[in-house]
């Protein structure tokens, strides 16, 4: 019983780390919608929607991602697809999609991996919706680099003149 308990604890810890990783990916890959103050400041409504990741890349900032304890699981998730079309937009990938992908790719997922891939997709969709707010904080905090500070200073200088 002790082995199963330790394995469960390990699965729980790794799952938590992967959830933070996927939520950070979603936050980075979302183009925030301006809040009321930004709209009142007459920011162009037709301005192209730029994701946080695109903005950071344009500013020369490395994308902040937490450690990925199981890269193969993230690779599987990316291959299956983070989301799929659902009703009024994107939804989490379905069990049917996961099963079809695994069969066609000849990958024998463990039950834990299959549940984790589904859970990560659910978390990705939830974070994307939350991250639409311009003021949404990132799910993972990182050390601010000099490049990020310089980018913020350039943006401030543009605003203040």
Query: Which has more pLDDT, 47 or 73?
Result: 73
The pLDDT-based confidence of 71 (bands split at 50, 70, 90) is very high
- Predicted local confidence at residue 46, as pLDDT: 57
149 or 86, higher pLDDT: 86
Closest among 98, 74, 87 to 26, alpha carbons compared: 74
- Return the DSSP state at 94: P
Per-residue confidence (pLDDT) for residue 40, from 0 to 100: 58
Q: Mean pLDDT score of the chain, rounded to an integer?
A: 88
Res. 118: pLDDT tops 80: yes
pLDDT of 134 over the 70 cut: yes
Q: Are 17 and 66 in contact (CB under 8 A)?
A: yes
* Torsion on CA atoms 86, 89, 91, 96, rounded to nearest 10: 30
């Amino acid at each position: 019983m002790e082995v199963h308990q330790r394995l469960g604890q390990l699965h729980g810890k790794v799952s938590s780390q992967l959830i933070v990783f996927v939520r950070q990916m979603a936050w980075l890959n979302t183009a925030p919608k301006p809040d009321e103050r930004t709209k009142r400041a007459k920011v162009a409504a037709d301005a192209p929607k730029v994701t946080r990741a695109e903005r950071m890349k344009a500013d020369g900032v490395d994308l902040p991602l937490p450690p990925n304890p199981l890269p193969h699981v993230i690779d599987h998730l990316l291959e299956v697809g983070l989301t799929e079309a659902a009703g009024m937009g994107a939804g989490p990938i379905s069990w049917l999609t996961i099963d079809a992908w695994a069969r066609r790719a000849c990958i024998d997922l463990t039950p834990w991996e299959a549940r984790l891939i589904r859970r990560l997709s659910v978390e990705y969709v939830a974070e994307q919706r939350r991250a639409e707010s311009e003021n949404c904080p990132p799910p993972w905090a990182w050390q601010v680099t000099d490049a990020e500070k310089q980018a913020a200073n350039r943006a401030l200088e543009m605003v203040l003149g």
